[in-house]
Amino acid sequence: MSHIKIKLHENQLQFIKDTCKEFNYNAGDLINILHKLQDKFGYLPSEVQEAVANELKIPTAKVYGIVTFYSYFTMVPKGEYPINICLGTACYVRGAEKILDEFKKQLNIKVGESTPDGKFSLNCLRCVGACGLAPVVMIGEKTYGRVAPDDVKKILSEYQHD
Amino acid sequence: MKTVNITINNIPLEVPKSTTILQAAKMINIEIPTLCHMKLEDFCIENKPAGCRICMVDVKGRRNLVPSCVTECTEGMVIETSNPRIINARRTVLELILSDHPFECLICPKNGKCDLQSLAQELGVREIRYTGEQSTYRMDTSQAIIRNPEKCIMCRRCELMCNTVQTCGVLSAVNRGFMSVVAPAFEQNLDHSPCTFCGQCVAVCPTAALTEVDQTGKLIQALADPDKVVVVQTAPAVRVTLGEEFGLKPGTIVTGKMVTALKRLGFNYVFDTDFAADLTIMEEGTELLNRLTKYLNGDKSVKLPILTSCCPAWVNFFEKNFPDLLDIPSSAKSPQQMFGAVAKNYFAKQLNIPREKLVVVSVMPCVAKKYEAQREEFRVNNDPDVNISITTRELATLIKQTVQDFNSLPESDFDRPLGESTGAAAIFGTTGGVIEAAVRTAYELYTKKPLPKIEFEELRGMEWIRKATVDFDGLKLNIGIAHGLGNARKLLEEIQAGKSEFHAIEIMACPGGCIGGGGQPQHHGKSEIIKARQKAIYEEDRRLPLRKSHENPYIIKLYEEYLGHPMSELSHELLHTKYFQKQPEIIIEND
């Protein structure tokens, strides 16, 4: 996993402290605390995890263990346009993996990563409830149905204008 | 006490309620194979994550096999510990573990001492039916410990020691499923983590996922170099454990054989860390009395309690966790480093050679000593006071390579002058020993009277935290003792809260003290081995003619000829040190 090193601003640190306080510094609420922080920051960089560990008085390694266990948590900031490829059963049997490979090739990143310019991030999910449109790709809130590998380049070009 | 009636392999049995099947089977000498499970009985440490699924047994009426390490016996339970179904299951589980484990047993540092290897042997595994992807991880070589996560079998014993016992919180299970592994936060290097290098993770690791940094190659090179004079010092706890590596009973004292073996290995002088332990007592004992006298005279600049500072993992622990208490530990260096300083400054002069020509080697029960020897403040012009530090295990390997039959070796004495020592130094190797040695000397220096009784039973034992009051002819000295860093933390938090009642506290990082150190022969979870070693330490003390550090004639001579007196200017320069605030930093190692 690639990591990004940042320095927290005073108000960000304060938000972390307030959140931990809100949960009475209860280590049993670690997952809820991390949810709230990821909602706020978009991801959970190492400095955030360390600050949480300090507040809750638990080892940073434990926090990192939780963050890396649950796929919802991420240590990489999402791109401006987050790409989600559905790998649910219906999409999968209709060739979602080939679509995923094409996105990886076009963007030159792996699943869970973002492009160096911060424009796109690539992730997978299981079933968006649009199986009739399989295989499905979501970019931000926009849904693309019946995607073929050849369409990928064109889809990405829609976001290249700026 | 409530009991339940059960049957194991057709043997009826009554056991206390909440006994596990594994414990019950042990009561009637039925062995159930285990892998992740570990119980250090005398320290109340038990690891039972029920993760490996090797100890599965059949319970009548249950559809699935159950893990015996966590399943408690209930009334009327009928248990089978071996039948074809169980054997099949155990083999399958083991084959699956092995399918994701490197096959390099022949060149593995744990070859012959690996729990996984022994289990494969016991279960007679001859082929692995499962092939597929193997997990790959980056190796992490720190200043003392090597992490090779590819050999990790997720038993999580190290995690228990690191978090529950030592409260260092370095190691945790991270990632998920196939990729899960035990690692520091952000999978960063141990060197950048809050690791103290206590080595308790190494002491309990069943495989070679955690091992010490091997320095035997470097040592052989030094011994082969005709331009170098190579001297060795051996720590007090090594002579009571080395024999175990050669099949001797735990607690066998092998001092004389060890000295012979070291001479045959080619060391120019075989000296003793015990000499430096006596020197430590002179300095630390005097410092204690100075601080105590000033304190009793109302000098507010003096803080008590004084804390011992012999244990490098303990020093790391307070430097990293208690930056506000850096002024209370004794400033005395550890015996390893005192020896190094005396050897390079005093002994090298006697030999009329420059310090760079002298190679100082230490044999330690410890992996943190490897780190300590590399600390910046313990070197002059980039020449370290202690050049190479090896563990008891590494010494055993070297002896096996060179001297064939250890057990039939004749006994020899340490060389002079740095090989003479007293019983006070011998007990440095066990919890309670350093403070007992200090009390023996401090008592006589303070009261100017001979000790009525040399042995202080009240300071001995294996309880995690012990308290005793020693009467210095009217002055009541409150002494605290803790081993295991989690227990040390409790005493330090008392000090922070201003609630500590102690004048002096001894801390050792490892359970039992150095006899349970991370560099010692594997105890495989048998705490009775550590107890046998402790008994041997006190026996070694009893058989020595001199038992108080200040009576060591070579220590007296060293002060007369060279240092002047304890806490003199030269003593301060050579034998005392400073402590530094060391906050762990986040440094991410990208693959």
Instruction: Identify the band that residue B403 occupies on the pLDDT scale cut at 50, 70 and 90.
Output: confident
Answer yes or no: do A61 and B175 touch at CB < 8 A: no
Q: Are residues B521 and B422 in the same domain?
A: yes
Q: Is residue B316 part of a domain?
A: yes
Helix or strand holding residue A98 (H, E): helix A96-107
Query: Does residue B222 sit in the same domain as residue B319?
Result: yes
Which member of A3, A63, A68 has the closest CB to residue B176? A68
Provide the sign of the torsion angle of the four alpha carbons B331, B332, B337, B338, taken in this order.
Answer: positive
Question: Which whole number is the average pLDDT over B97-116?
Answer: 95
Verify whether the Cβ–Cβ distance B586 to A50 is below 8 Å: yes
- Domains of chain A are 10-69 (no CATH), 81-157 (3.40.30.10)
Give contacts of A 79-118 with B, CB under 8 A.
none
Q: Which of B190, B212, B234 is the last residue of a domain?
A: B212
List CB contacts (< 8 A) between A69 and chain B.
174-176, 180
- The answer to whether position B103 is within a domain reads yes
Which pLDDT belongs to residue A140? 86
Q: Write out B111-164 in H/E/C secondary structure.
A: CCCCHHHHHHHHCCCCCCCCCCCCCCCCCEECCCEEECHHHCCCCCHHHHHHHH
Closest CA to B338 of B280, B274, B381, B284: B280
Can you tell me the distance from the alpha carbon of B520 to that of B516, in angstroms, rounded to the nearest whole number?
Answer: 7
- B388's enclosing H/E stretch is strand B388-391
Domain membership of residue B92 (yes or no) is: no
Is residue B507 helix, strand or coil?
Answer: strand
Instruction: Select the residue from A48, A60, A66, A70 to test the B interface by mutation, using most B Cβ atoms within 10 A.
Output: A60
B77, B113: one domain = no
Q: Which of B360, B324, B316 is nearest to B342 (CA)?
A: B360
B291 and B405 within one domain: yes
**Residue ranges of the alpha helices (H) in B297-386?**
312-321, 335-342, 348-351, 368-373
Cβ proximity of B424 and B400 under 8 Å: no
Chain B nearest C-alpha distance from A158 (Å): 33
- Which residue of chain B is at minimal alpha-carbon distance from A7? B586
Q: Which domain holds residue B153?
A: 97-212
Specify the residue for token string 């309990």: B204
The answer to whether B250 and B533 have CB atoms below 8 angstroms apart is yes
- % residues pLDDT > 70 (chain B): 99
| Residues B143 and B257 placed together within one structural domain of the fold | no
> What digits encode the pLDDT tens for the residues B219-251?
999 999 999 999 999 999 999 999 999 999 999
The answer to whether B185 contacts A3, with C-beta atoms less than 8 Å apart, is no
Same domain (yes/no): B43, B135: no
- CATH number for position B33: 3.10.20.740
**Claim to verify: residue B25 and residue B124 sit in the same structural domain:** no
What is the C-alpha to C-alpha distance for residues B255 and A44, in angstroms, rounded to an integer?
Answer: 55
> Quick one: pLDDT at residue A79?
86
- Phi and psi at residue B72, to the nearest 5°: -85, 150
CA distance A41 to chain B (A): 18
As beta bridge partners, residue B5 has B14
Whether B590 and A2 lie within 8 Å, measured CB to CB: yes
| Contact list, B184 vs chain A (CB under 8 Å) | 61
Could you tell me which residues of chain B have a Cβ less than 8 Å from any Cβ in chain A?
163, 168-176, 180, 183-187, 193-194, 586, 588, 590
pLDDT in tens, B307-325: 999 999 999 999 999 999 9
Q: Does A68 touch chain B (CB under 8 A)?
A: yes
Chain B residue closest to A6 (CA)? Answer: B586
Please tell me the distance from the alpha carbon of residue B152 to that of residue B200, in angstroms, as a whole number: 16
Residue B141 and residue B237 in one domain: no
Q: Do A69 and B163 lie within an 8 Å CB cutoff?
A: no
Report the run of H or E that residue B183 belongs to, with start and end.
strand B181-183
Contact B25, B8 (CB under 8 A): yes
Residue B591 lies in a domain: no
Instruction: Please judge whether A50 and B163 are an interchain contact, meaning their C-beta atoms are less than 8 angstroms apart.
Output: no
B196 phi, psi to nearest 5 deg: -100, -5
Last residue of a domain, one of B189, B212, B235: B212
Residue B224: inside a domain, yes or no?
A: yes
**How many Cβ contacts (< 8 angstroms) between chains A and B?**
57
In a domain, B588, yes or no: no
pLDDT at A2: 44
CB-CB neighbors (< 8 A) of A50 in chain B? 185, 586
Distance from CA of B158 to the nearest CA of A (A): 13
Q: Look at residue A5 in the predicted model and tell me its pLDDT.
A: 61
d(CA B69, CA B50): 7
What distance in Å separates the CA atoms of residue B291 and residue B295, rounded to the nearest whole number?
Answer: 6
A50–B176 C-beta distance less than 8 A:
no
Whether residues B276 and B192 share a domain: the answer is no
How far is B345 from B15, CA to CA, in rounded Å?
63
Co-location of B279 and B132 in the same domain? no
Query: Using an 8 Å Cβ cutoff, are B335 and B277 in contact?
Result: yes
Of the candidates A58, A61, A69, the beta carbon closest to that of B176 is on A69
CB nearest to B186's CB, from A3, A62, A71: A3
What's the CA gap between B510 and B482, in Å, rounded? 10
Q: Are B181 and B499 in contact (CB under 8 A)?
A: no
Residue B216, judged by CB atoms within 10 A of its CB (0-12, 13-18, 19+), counts as middle
A143/B contact by beta carbon, under 8 A:
no
**Residue B138 pLDDT class (50, 70, 90 cuts):** very high
Yes or no, beta carbons of A68 and B163 under 8 Å apart: no
Question: What residues in A contact B170, CB-CB < 8 Å?
Answer: 59, 61
d(CA B188, CA B346): 41
The predicted structure's pLDDT at residue B565: 96
CB within 8 A of A129, min separation 6: which ones?
Answer: none
- Alpha helices for B346-468 (secondary structure H): 348-351, 368-373, 392-402, 423-426, 433-447
Other residues' Cβ atoms within 10 Å of the Cβ of residue A12:
17
| Contact between chains at A60 and B590 (C-beta distance less than 8 A) | no
Beta bridge partners of B362: B233, B389
Quote the pLDDT of residue B133. Answer: 87
Which two three-digit tokens encode residue A109?
A: 């990143």
Instruction: State the Cα angle at B438 between B380 and B567, rounded to 5°.
Output: 40
CB–CB contact B590 A3 (8 Å)? yes
CA distance to partner chain A, nearest, from residue B512 (Å)? 25
Mean of pLDDT values over B161-186:
95
pLDDT in tens, chain A (162 residues): 445 566 788 999 999 999 999 999 999 999 999 999 998 998 999 999 999 999 999 999 999 999 999 878 989 888 889 999 999 999 999 999 999 999 999 999 999 888 988 899 999 988 888 899 999 999 988 999 999 999 999 999 999 875
Q: How far is CA B277 from the centre of its chain?
A: 17
A119 contact B CB<8A: no
- Give the 3-state secondary structure of residue B557: helix
Can you tell me the distance from the alpha carbon of B198 to that of B371, in angstroms, rounded to the nearest whole number? 10
Chain B positions touching A57 (Cβ under 8 A) are none
User: Which residues, listed in sequence order, are joined to residue B389 by a DSSP beta bridge?
Assistant: B362
Q: Do A62 and B171 touch (CB under 8 A)?
A: no
Task: Note the pLDDT tens digit of each residue in A111-130.
Answer: 988 898 889 999 998 888 88
| Residue B403 within any structural domain of the chain | yes
Instruction: With CB atoms and an 8 Å threshold, state whether B186 touches A64.
Output: yes
> Taking a C-beta distance cutoff of 8 angstroms, is the pair B537, B237 a contact?
yes
Q: What is the largest CA-CA distance in chain B?
A: 80
Among B168, B174, B180, select the one facing A64 at the smallest CB separation: B174
Q: CATH number for the domain including B446?
A: 3.40.50.1780
Name the pLDDT band for B516 (thresholds 50, 70, 90): very high
Residues of B serving a catalytic function are 284, 287, 310, 330, 369, 372, 377, 514
Count H helices, E strands: chain A?
7, 4
Distance of CA B93 to the CA centre of its chain: 32
Contact B185 A69 (CB under 8 A): no
Backbone angles phi, psi at A3, to 5 degrees: -120, 155
Chain B residues in contact with A73 by the CB 8 A cut-off are none
Of the residues B160, B178, B212, which one is the last residue of a structural domain? B212
Task: Determine the angle formed by the axes of helices B335-342 and B273-296, rounding to 10 degrees.
Answer: 110
Q: What is the CATH number of the domain that holds B167?
A: 3.30.70.20
Inter-chain residue contact B184 with A50, CB threshold 8 Å: no
Let me know: does B360 contact B453? Beta carbons within 8 Å: no
Same-domain check for residues B203 and B268:
no
d(CA B216, CA B370): 12
Q: Where are the beta strands (DSSP E) in chain A?
A: 81-86, 120-125, 137-139, 142-144
How far is residue B514's CA from residue B314's CA, in Å, rounded to a whole number?
Answer: 12
Whether B232 and B271 have beta carbons less than 8 Å apart is answered as yes
Q: What is the mean pLDDT of chain B?
A: 95
Say how far apart CA B180 and CA B185 lie, in whole Å.
13
Which residues in chain A are closer than 8 Å to B194, comparing Cβ atoms? 59
Residue B591 has pLDDT above 60, yes or no: no
Peptide bond into A135 cis (omega under 30): yes
Structural domain contains residue B254: yes
Residue tagged 């002079």 (tokens): B416
- In DSSP terms, which residues pair with B364 in a beta bridge? B391
- Please tell me the distance in Å from A1's CA to the nearest CA on chain B: 8
pTM for the full predicted model: 0.91
Region of B61 on the Ramachandran plot (φ > 0 left; ψ -120 to 50 alpha; else beta):
left
pLDDT at B142 over 60: yes
- Residues B559, B453 within the same domain: yes
B543: DSSP letter? T
**Which chain B residues are Cβ-neighbours of A112 within 8 angstroms?**
none
B550, B283 in Cβ contact below 8 A?
no
CA distance B432 to B404: 36
8 Å CB contact between B302 and B291: yes
Domain count, chain B: 3
